[in-house]
Chains A and B, each alone.
Chain A
Amino acid sequence: MDFALSEEQKMFRIMFEDFSTNEIAPIAEEIDHEETPPLNVLRKAARQGFLGATLPEEYYGANLDFVSYALLIEALARDCVSIAVTLGTHVSLVAMSILSGGDDAQKEKFLPLLASGEALGAFAMTEPDAGSDTTSLETKAIPDGGEYVLNGVKTWVANGEIADAGMDTLFLAFAEAPEGITAFLIPADTAGLTVGYREPTLGLRSVPFHTVYLEGCRIPMANRLGGGGEGREIAERAHRRMAITLGAAALGVAEDSVDVAAQFATERVQFDVPIAEKQAIQNFIAESATEIEALRYLVYHGAWQVDHGDNSAFDASVVKAFSARVARCVTDRMVQVMGGYGYMEDYPMARKYRDARALGVMGGPTELHNVLIAQDVFSAWDVEITP
């Protein structure tokens, strides 16, 4: 077992952190305040190859292994969780689903667009009555002469609309076809697809979460991803990748929170000493640092498993559940360390606190992941657990 990052990965990490410090840190507060998607940064990220991070070179991707990609997400999340989530949705949920589940024509058509940033991936699964429970979907896909006709409503679609010249949304949407849940690739300009309401959120305010309406939306067979009824498996694998991705984001936000708060603690003098000399503050820092270390190797290991085709539901859920908790607890403690300054929006901690809270409810709430973990544990004794 070799726990060290390779030389290449270490180099990548430095590169990612430089990018984040130079391009993202200066605008993080503004894009949260204005609730605007960071188009310029996304274009720059595209030029760096980040939007095709794990895609092979033949599709103009950067061909990164998943661990390096996790390092990228971690670095971005240090400065802005929103950008990490946008990128993660684009790569882990959409681009990699096409890579592993698409036919050659689809890969040749869509992957280069995603890698270059001409298309931004959005994942449309959730519905008003299908949050944690996506066993059956209301959105229907009826076959009709070589096409499918989709009708339904999708909610909380991340990256739903990043409207600007030169960047269109590509939806990966899931609907109930006669054969079962099926995945479809739908470019934003398809007739019958309307992007609607944007959800105002507590945090992740520069990720646009939209409601999307599908009304008589006709999809050619060529845009069906995988076979009829194979959508469930595609979504499964996408969610597992996303679990590791969000784990890396959790790691990034937790790490930076500790850095910011620890520095504050060394500068803030009360009762004649820096508060870093107070045991209560030390405990906050120590508990957080411990949790971050545990999370770090959990996430990197999870990423390594993805690279080795080994990423099981159990592994993904463990990472997701643990990382959400760590992000929440660490940011909460660091707000407390910073006191009143942790509550003011002109300091970064309040934003990190708001952003981190999302990780416990998006990508499946922790309670759901606990069920999946329990399912795996009890399966050894042939006891079946259902959510």
Chain B
Amino acid sequence: MDFTFSPEHEALRRMIREFAENEVAPIAAEIDREGRVPFEVLHQMAEMGLLGVCFPQEYGGMGAGEAGYCILMEELGRICTSTATNVGAHIGIGAMTIYLDGNEEQKRKYLTPLARGEKFAAFLLTESDAGSDAAAIRTRAVRDGDHWVINGTKTFNTNGSFADIATVMAVTDPTLGARGGITAFIVETDTPGFEVGRHEDKMGIRGSSTAELVFEDMRVPHENVLGKVGEGFVAFMKSLDMGRLTLGAAGLGGAQAALDWSVQWARTREQFGVPLAQKQSVQWMIADMATEIEALRSLVYRVAWMVDTGQPFTQVAAMCKLYGSEVASRAIDRALQIHGGLGYSRDYPIERAFRDARIAEIFEGTNEIQRIVIASRIFREHGVRISP
């Protein structure tokens, strides 16, 4: 068992950390305040090859694997959750679906510009009646000659408002439900019939875009069906699994930042004649944070290794997302407590991290869904089927 990172992953991490500290950190508060997506940062990342970090070089990616992608999300998560969210939606579910289920043509045509960061991607699944119950989507795709016509509305979508290429889940056979009735499509958003609707006013990750997207008789060529007609559900479940792992990595970064801030503050802030670091309440919080972070780190990178070595990972990826989001929430809550009033003030980054962290337990499959995924895998081995 070798628990060390390869030299190239170490070098990659150093490069990303430096980038995140010098280019992303200075604008993190501003993009939260202004509620804007930091395109200037995303373009720099594209130039460095980071927006295709896990995709093979033959498709314009960097070839650093899931481990490389986790490193990217961890280092971004440490500095700015909004930026990590933008990147995660682009790589981890947007482009990833094309990578996992696209044919050669589709990969060359769509994955390559996405991996190079020349275009942005989004993943369109959620609707107002289909949140956790993703199979309940109603966006409809009807065959018309060599095209499909799509009608419907997607809600709470990340990146959809500026993405060039999107993978969309639509119902192609309303009688069949999840098994056989849903198809995944690659759409170019400048096709007529695609409109960006309302932008959501979120508590956190305000440097990312969450919007409603409306399809009105949008025509998509049949070559843009991802995988086979009727097999979209499986396609998007695969993507979501991959995405979950990297959300755990982003949580790891966020938790680490919370720990680092807390240690610095506890070291210097004196009350009752001693630094806070001398108080057991504070020591215990720091110790608990650090322990959970270690456990999460091992979990995340082990699962990345499992993905990179072709092992099944659905259950453990769900664990990464579940544990990662909760560890980050607990860590940032403790950090806020340690910082007292400063943790509550918008002049310091802690309250932003607090707001940003909260979404992780909700999106990409709520933690309740993650628990169902985990429990159902466990019980299935004993012949018991669980449904949500």
Contact = CB atoms under 8 A, between A and B. Distances in A.
B340 A370 contact: no
A350 interface: yes
B343 A336 contact: no
B215 interface: no
Interface stretch (B220-228, B306-314, B357-365): B357-365
Given A200-B346, A270-B131, A346-B201, A336 B362 contact: yes
A201 B129 CA distance: 34
B371 A386 contact: no
A336 B344 contact: no
Given A133-B272, A270-B131, A354-B355, A344 B203 contact: yes
Interface string A299-337: 000000000000000000000000000001000000110
For A129, A280, A340, A367, which residue has the most chain B Cβ atoms within 10 angstroms?
A340
Contacts of B131: 270, 339-340
A280 B204 contact: no
Interface in A121-145: 126, 129, 131-133, 135
Query: Which one of B129, B203, B273, B333 has the highest number of Cβ atoms from chain A below 10 Å of its Cβ?
Result: B203
A387 interface: yes
Contact of A344 (B201, B281, B355): B201
B336 A270 contact: no
A97 B358 CA distance: 39
Contact of A361 (B204, B273, B340): B340
Interface string A361-377: 11001110010000000
A386 B274 CA distance: 12
Contact of A358 (B201, B273, B344): B344
Given A135-B272, A271-B132, A280-B368, A342 B201 contact: no
A358 B345 CA distance: 10
B145 interface: no
B366 interface: yes
B200 interface: yes
A366 B358 CA distance: 21
B358 A353 contact: yes
A199 interface: yes
Given A271-B132, A361-B340, A366-B337, A336 B366 contact: yes
A269 interface: yes
B346 A202 contact: yes
Interface residues of B, number: 44
Nearest to B341: A156
Contacts, number: 111
B336 A343 contact: no
Contacts of B126: 340
B361 A350 contact: no
B272 A357 contact: no
Contacts of B132: 270-271, 339
Contacts of B23: none
Contacts of A201: 344-346, 351
A247 interface: no
A361 B343 contact: yes
Contact of B201 (A135, A155, A345, A366): A345
Shortest 6 CB-CB distances between A and B: which pairs?
Answer: A200-B346, A133-B271, A202-B351, A270-B133, A350-B203, A367-B281
Given A343-B362, A361-B337, 14 more contacts: A131-B340, A132-B340, A133-B271, A133-B272, A201-B346, A270-B136, A271-B136, A272-B133, A336-B367, A339-B362, A343-B358, A345-B202, A354-B203, A366-B337
16 contacts: A132-B272, A270-B132, A270-B136, A271-B133, A271-B387, A272-B133, A335-B358, A340-B362, A343-B359, A344-B200, A344-B201, A344-B203, A358-B344, A360-B337, A361-B341, A367-B281
